[in-house]
Amino acid sequence: MAEDNNTPQHSNVTPYTPVFNETIRTIIYVLTLIAGIVGLGVSAFGDPQVGAYISSAAGVIAAAFGVAYNPVRLSGK
**DSSP character string of 2-70:** ---TTSPP-TTPPPP--SS-HHHHHHHHHHHHHHHHHHHHHHHHS-HHHHHHHHHHHHHHHHHTT----
Domain that holds residue 56: 29-69
Q: Which residue has the higher pLDDT, 28 or 67?
A: 28
- pLDDT at residue 46 in the model: 93
Residue 3 lies inside a defined structural domain of this protein: no
Distance in angstroms (rounded) separating the CA atoms of residues 1 and 3: 7
Residue 17 lies inside a defined structural domain of this protein: no
Q: Which residue has the higher pLDDT, 66 or 75?
A: 66
Residue 19 lies inside a defined structural domain of this protein: no
The structural domain count of the chain equals 1
Does 8 score more than 60 pLDDT?
no
Residue 39 lies inside a defined structural domain of this protein: yes
Residue 52 lies inside a defined structural domain of this protein: yes
Does 28 score more than 60 pLDDT?
yes
